[in-house]
Amino acid sequence: MLTAKGGEFHLEEKPFQLLSGAIHYFRIVPEYWRDRLEKLKALGLNTVETYIPWNFHEPKKGEFNFSGMADVEKFIKLAHELGLYVILRPSPYICAEWEMGGLPAWLLKEEEMVLRSSHPAYLNHVEDYYDVLLPKFKQYLYQYGGPVIAMQIENEYGAYGNDKSYLEFLKHLYGKHDLDTFLFTSDGPEFIEQGSLQDVTTTLNFGSKVERAFEELEKLKPNSPKLVAEFWIGWFDYWTGEHHTRSAKNVAEVFRELIEKKGSVNFYMFQGGTNFGFMNGANHYDIYYPTITSYDYDSLLTERGETTKKYDAIKKVLRDYIEVPEDYKSTLTLAKEYGSIAVTESVSIFDTLSEISNKVKHVSPLSMEEIDQPYGYTLYRTNINRKGELKFNSDAIHDRAYLYINGSYVATTYKNDEKKELTLNFPEKNNLLEIFVENMGRANYGEHLTDKKGLVKNIWLGEQYFFNWEMYAIELERLPENYHHNNDETRFPKFYRGSFDVDQIGDTYVDTYGFTKGNVFINGFNLGRYWNSAGPQQRLYLPGPLLKQKGNQIVVLELEYTNTDNVQLLSEPKLN
C-alpha cells in the first residue's frame, strides 16, 4: 500500500515519488482512452488521476449510468493493463469546471438541501450514491492486485466550508465499504486548515509559488509528504473571454523546482478534453462566467490528444531525474477536412414541442430543477390580460432568455446584463408571453454553488404577478424527426439538419460560421455549445469515433439568427 512517513511517500515500504497526470474519462470518448494513457506513460509518469462526477453517473435519482463514456471501471482496467497506478477522486463535489461541480441538479429540488454539509438530507443522498459507487472499486485496490493507490475524501473543501463532521462522514463511508486505501484531501495553500482532517494526508493545489505553498503545509502538518494534487499548468476559458495560455518554459521551470524539493506531482491537466453536451460549469464572482465547450486547458495534450511543446518540455526535465521511455509513436491520425455540409432542412423549435419536451402546468413558474429538467432549455408560457407597456426586472431569469409576445420576438435578457429593468409592450387585451430560457451551466465553485435555473421565481410585471403558467422541459436527448426543406419560417430557435458521408473516418472540427449561438449534434450526440459572437471558441471538436462512413446526420440548434445553411468540417481548432 501507499503510505506516508518521514516526510515522503512509500510504496511497498520503498520511497516512492508520485508522478501523475489528470485525464477525465468523462471528457474523452472511450475509443481514445488507451491512446491518452499510453502518451501519459511515455512521458515518464507512473500514475493517472481522475475525478468521478456524481451527476454523470446518477443523472436522475436512483438511475445509474456506468456504460460508454461513464465506464470508469474500463478506464481503470486500461490503466492497469499499461502498468500505471491510479488515483480516484470520487468526492461528491469535484469542481473541475464541470456542471455544478459534479453535484446532480436534482439535489436542488429539495428546498431544505444544504450542499456539502452534514445536513441529513444531503448526507442521505451521498450515502445512497456511494453505496452503489464505492463497492465497484475494492477489487481495483493495490493490495488486491489492482492499480488504485489513493482516493480523495473531498475536493477543495476549505474554499467552501468548515463542517469537519461532513468530512468525517465521507471518510466513514470508505470504511463502510472496506476501501482500506491511502486517503487524502486537497486544497489551495490558504485553505488547507479548514479543508483538512487531522489523521488524513493533506495535499495542495496550485500552479506556482512552490516554496510558499510548501511552507503552509509544513506549518499545518510538519514532516508531511509534499503532493501537489493539482499542479495547474494551464487554465480554462469562459465565453466572452480570451483563450488562456501558459508558456512551456514557465511550466517546466516550476516543475523542476517541485522535483528538486522532492515533491510529488499530478499535472492538472495532462489532457483536458471536452465539455460535451450541457456539462460545462461556470464561475460566478463579480459576474457570471460560463465555461466554453472546449476544456483544452492549454494542457500537455491538446483537446484532441496531440502532444505539445509543453509535453516535450516536461519530458526534457524528467530526463534529468529518472529514466524515461522512448517517445510514443501515436496511432492518432491527422484531423480531417470534410468541407462544406448543407443543412437545408429546418424546423422551428416551437413546432416540435410535442415531440421533444415534457409539459408541466403550475399556478406560478417553477425552476428547471422543480420540473425535473437538469440541463438545456425550458420554455415558459402565460397569458397577459393587459394592454400597454409593462415593466419588470429580469433577475428572475437564469441564465439567458428570449422573450416573445404573441409569437413575435421582442427582447433578449442575460444574467450579466447591467440593466435588469425591461419594458415590454403588450398590444392586445389578451397576449401570449413566452420566455425561452437557456441554462448556460451551473456554478462549479464558490458561494453560488446552489444555482437554480430557468424562472427561479414569478416575474413582477407591471406591478403585479400573472399566474397559470405552462412549462416545456426541452432536454434534447431526443431530436425532432420532421423537418421542412428550405423552410422560410423565421421564428427562432430553429433546428437545421443535413447529412453527409466520409471516405475515411477521423477527427474533425465543426465550424458554424454564419450561425450565432446554439448546439451541434452529430448522429444524436450533443457536441456542446457554440457562441460565435462571444468567443473565444469558434469551432467544436468532433471525435472520429462518433462518425460512420455513410449517412451521418448533423443537427444545428440555432437560438438567435443565421445567414447561412452550411457548416464546415475543418482540420484545425480555433481558440482566439
Q: So which residues are the catalytic ones? A: 156, 230
353 alpha-carbon distance from chain centroid:
27
What is the distance in angstroms between the CA of the first residue and the CA of the last residue of the chain? Answer: 46
Q: How many CB atoms lie within 10 A of CB 227?
A: 25
Identify the DSSP state of 328. P
* DSSP secondary structure string for all residues of 534-552: T-SB-EEEE-GGG--SS-E
Of 297, 345, 356, 275, nearest to 98 (Cα)? 275
* Positions of E strands within 217-352: 227-232, 264-271, 282-284, 288-290, 339-342, 345-348
Task: Please list the residues that pair with 227 across neighbouring strands.
Answer: 264
Grid coordinates of 417: 446584463
Strand partners, 47: 20, 85
- The neighbour count for residue 178, using CB atoms within 10 Å, is 11
* Range 452-480 burial, b when 16+ CB lie within 10 A, else e: bbbbbebbebbeeebeebbbbbbbbeebb
Q: Which among 341, 386, 387 has a CA at the least distance from the CA of 501?
A: 341
Q: Which residue has the cell 456506468?
A: 66
Under a CB-based contact definition with an 8 Å cutoff, are residues 574 and 511 in contact? yes
CA distance linking residue 111 with residue 130, whole number of Å: 22
